[in-house]
Structure 1
Amino acid sequence: MPQLDFGNPLMIAQIVWLLIIFGVLYYVLATYALPRVEAVLEDRRRRIEGDLEAAQAAKAEADAAITAHREATSKARAEAQAAIAAAMQSAQLEATQRSEALAARLADQINAAEARITAARDTAMGALRQVSTETTEALLHRLTGQSEQAAVGPAVDRALAARGLG
């Protein structure tokens, strides 16, 4: 290789100058540049460690907040369930009371209606007995010309009883 021709006198001078420049460059870099780079790297390492510690602290705080939130949510859910159960019991009790009151009122109305129906039936039956008796007497009088009130009354009662109306 012609570049490494050590027999050339210029080659030795170039190697000497290479070593001098390399030594000066090494001294400048070791004295000025590398300490600054080392300081920047150390600062960066400390900042990253600090950020990691802050992140771990924030994570721990977030975990504690999540735990507190879950506890509060479960407590609120339990309170809501209790409130719903109480409201349901209250509503059922109120519905039962209203139902009982309505049933009592309807029973009273039914009893009153049955009493009116019984009175109307008795009145109608009394009127039926009277109309039947009068009609029978009128027919008997027209057909025979005689009126037997003593025999007509019991006969009408027997006829009505036979038909289940008496």
Structure 2
Amino acid sequence: MASEATEAAGHAAEAVEHAQGMPQLDFTTYPNQIFWLVVTLVVIYFLMTRVILPRISSVLAERAKTITSDLERAEELKQKAAEAEEALKKAEADAKAEARRIIEETKAEIQKDLDAAMKKAEAEIAKMAAASEAKIAEIRAHAVESVAAVATDVAQEIVSVVFPGKAKAEDIAAAVAKRAKG
């Protein structure tokens, strides 16, 4: 056995001495290397197609599904926001219209109250004016009577001084009244 081992070692040493150059360029080992290369590539291919690529595909599919879902949700939220904005604008317009209506009603009510107060005030003023005119007419009438009485008294004094005992008081009063009328 030792001789066989020695012999094998000797053959190996001879082979190493004869093999000059790089071992990768030794064409005697090419069929073996090609076989293991093909086996390795087939194993890698099956690993890729059966394990790695399906996992990557599922991750990509899940990612695409998530992105699509997020985009759909964003679109829904955008739609809801637009609807909310429209509802807000409508509510604002309705509130403005209601405010205008209330303002117009209030203005009309105030104008109605003002018109009623104005009519009442005008009636009071007309009533007061009529009372004042009646009072003025009464004062005027008394003034005319007073003037007539004073004029009659003055005329009697003058006539009695100028013509003592000749004139009657009725005649003097009639003459003063005739002269006062026109």
Tell me the residue number matched to 2:126.
107
| Structure 2: gaps of 5 or more residues | 1-20, 26-36
TM-aligned CA deviation for residue 126 of structure 1: 0.7
2:153 is the alignment partner of 1:140? no
Q: TM-score, normalised by structure 1?
A: 0.68
Indicate if the aligned counterparts of 1:137 and 1:147 stay in contact, CA closer than 8 A.
no
- Residue number among 102, 105, 115 corresponding to 1:86 in the alignment: 105
- Aligned CA RMSD, in angstroms, stands at 3.3
Q: Which amino acid aligns with 2:179?
A: A
Match of 1:72 among 82, 91, 107: 91
Offset, 1:132 = 0.4
The answer to whether structure 1 residue 154 and structure 2 residue 174 are counterparts is yes
* 1:65 shift after superposition: 1.0
Q: What is the count of residue pairs matched by the alignment? A: 146
1:1-80 maps to which residues of 2 (within 5 A)? 43-80=62-99
In 2: Cα distance, 1:132 partner to 1:35 partner: 139
| Larger Rg, first or second structure (1 or 2) | 2
Q: Identity across aligned pairs (percent)?
A: 25
Cα drift, residue 37 of structure 1: 7.0
In the alignment, structure 1 residue 121 sits paired with structure 2 residue 140: yes
Deviation at 1:33, TM superposition (A): 8.7
